[in-house]
């Protein structure tokens, strides 16, 4: 019975790691591991998985979980002196039992507040005091919302600067049948060409080789059209001007120990991010970055996908 669905449940996941299961009354669900504050599952009301997690993912700290939604903080990739993608995805987060006031426009009870604060060991790597609060929520329609709030709690008067990304791995039926809408004509940095700047040509982004690009000054809405599944995944974002598009393709896939050789065909990363212009917070200041994911049936127009209707709709 739907009335018996518990909206928030603490459970044991792979290798005994603690996870939180969120359930919405209509049947959608999400799973979040305390390790990494890491969303590893997002299912629609039919129980279909919308995120990709590698079959070879290691759920063993300190290795990050391969797939789902890793959080890149305080550094995206190798854009700085820290280990690639920073350390938030390798830390054990806590449930925030006393979250500060949180404006919410949803009546959903399916949400969890997590918090990450630096340990003494962390301070040696990145000598700044901060509070990173993450809310993961399932909306009534099955939308998945992640809101990050990062506050500078330094007592020495020092500001700090960071880059950030929700490194979302979407599940797709066949990468060669997928297109991404909303990034046409934009400038991007190509990570495969030493971060050289180019301008995107053409209507939609399609995939026939390795891609690793940081699109700049992107719109608040990006759509991933999955032709085979007749499904469009829509990413809406706020406070995150950049968007990373990544697929490792065959050679890189084979080189990753925690990634299946052919799994690149069934995943695509589209990542809401703040990279080109790093964020600086003075003590007491707070930054907020939010992404909302939704899945809608694709509109068809004489057998073709009609992405304009998706992007121009609410």
- Give the C-alpha separation, 213 to 196, whole Å: 10
pLDDT digits (tens, 9 = 90+) for 223-232: 999 999 999 9
**Quick one: three-class SS letters along the chain?**
CHHHCCCEEEEECHHHCEEEEEECCCCCEEEEECECCEEEEEECCCCCECECECCCCCCCCCCCCCECECEEECCCCCCCCCCCCECHHHCECEECCCCCCCCCCCCCCCEEEEEECCCHHHHHHCCCCEEEEEEEEECCCCCEEEEEEEEECCCCCCCEEEEEEECCEEECCCHHHEEEECCCCCEEEEHHHCCEEEECCCCCECCCCCEEEEECCCCCEEEEEECCCCEEEEEEEECCCEEEEEECHHHHHHHCCCCCCCHHHHEEEEEEEEEEEEEEECCCCEEEEEEEEEEEECCEECCEECHHHHHHCC
* 172 has a pLDDT exceeding 90: yes
Of the listed 167, 181, 263, 276, which one is catalytic?
167
> How far is 258 from 287, CA to CA, in rounded Å?
33
| DSSP at 298 | P
- Per-residue pLDDT tens digits for 58-99: 999 999 999 999 999 999 999 888 989 999 999 999 999 888
Per the annotation, the verdict on 271 as an active-site residue is: yes
What gap in Å lies between CA 157 and CA 155, rounded to an integer? Answer: 6
Compute the distance between CA of residue 283 and CA of residue 129 in angstroms, rounded to an integer. 9
Percent of the chain with pLDDT over 90: 84
Task: For residue 245, name the pLDDT band (cuts at 50, 70, 90).
Answer: very high
Burial of 235 (0-12, 13-18, 19+ CB in 10 A): buried
Residues 24, 31, 181, 271: which is the catalytic one? 271
Poorest-pLDDT segment among 75-89, 136-150, 173-187, 268-282: 75-89
Which tokens belong to 199?
């301008």
Q: Is 85 a catalytic residue?
A: no
Please count the other Cβ atoms lying within 10 Å of the Cβ belonging to residue 25: 15
Q: Counting every residue, how long is the chain?
A: 314
* Segment 277-310, tens digit of pLDDT: 999 999 999 999 999 999 998 864 333 445 555 5
Residues 6+ away with beta carbon under 8 Å from 264: 175, 247, 248, 249, 250, 252, 253
Mean of the per-residue pLDDT values for the chain? 92
CB 100 within 8 A of CB 132: no
Do the beta carbons of residue 17 and residue 33 sit within 8 Å? yes
> What dotted CATH number matches 11-100+125-299?
2.70.98.10
Kindly report the number of other CB atoms within 10 A of residue 133's CB atom: 22
Which contacts qualify for 285-288: CB closer than 8 Å, 24 or more apart?
A: 285/151, 285/152, 286/149, 286/150, 286/151, 286/152, 287/149, 287/150, 287/151, 287/239, 288/147, 288/148, 288/149, 288/150, 288/238, 288/239
Which of 53-62, 200-209, 238-247 bottoms out in mean pLDDT, i.e. has the lowest?
A: 200-209
CA nearest to 168, candidates 299, 291, 17, 31: 291
């Amino acid at each position: 019975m739907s009335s018996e669905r518990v909206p928030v449940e603490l459970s044991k996941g792979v290798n005994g790691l603690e996870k939180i299961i969120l359930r919405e009354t209509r049947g959608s669900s999400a799973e979040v591991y305390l390790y990494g504050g890491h969303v590893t599952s997002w299912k629609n009301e039919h129980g279909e998985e919308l995120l990709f997690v590698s079959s070879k993912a290691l759920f063993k700290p300190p290795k990050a979980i391969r797939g789902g939604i890793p959080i890149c903080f305080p550094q995206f990739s190798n854009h700085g002196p820290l280990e690639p993608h920073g350390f938030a995805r390798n830390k054990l987060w806590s449930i925030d039992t006393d979250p500060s006031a949180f404006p919410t426009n949803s009546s959903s009870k399916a949400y969890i507040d997590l918090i990450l604060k630096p340990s003494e060991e962390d301070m040696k790597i990145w000598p700044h005091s901060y509070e990173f609060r993450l809310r993961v929520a399932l909306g009534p329609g099955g939308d998945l919302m992640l809101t990050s709030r990062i506050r500078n709690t330094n007592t020495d008067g020092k500001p700090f600067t960071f880059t950030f990304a929700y490194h979302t791995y979407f599940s797709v039926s066949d990468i060669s049948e997928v297109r991404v809408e909303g990034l046409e004509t934009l400038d991007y940095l190509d990570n495969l060409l030493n971060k050289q700047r180019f301008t995107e040509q053409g209507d939609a982004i399609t995939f026939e080789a390795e891609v690793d690009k940081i699109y700049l000054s992107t719109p608040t809405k990006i759509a991933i059209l999955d032709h085979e599944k007749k499904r469009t995944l829509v990413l809406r974002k706020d406070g995150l001007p950049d968007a990373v598009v990544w697929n490792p393709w065959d050679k890189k896939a084979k080189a990753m120990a925690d990634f299946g050789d052919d799994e690149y065909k069934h995943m695509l990363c589209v990542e809401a991010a703040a990279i080109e212009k790093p964020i600086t917070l003075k003590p007491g200041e707070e930054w907020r970055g939010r992404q909302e994911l939704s899945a809608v049936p694709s509109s068809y127009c004489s057998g073709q996908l009609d992405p304009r209707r998706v992007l121009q709709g609410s």
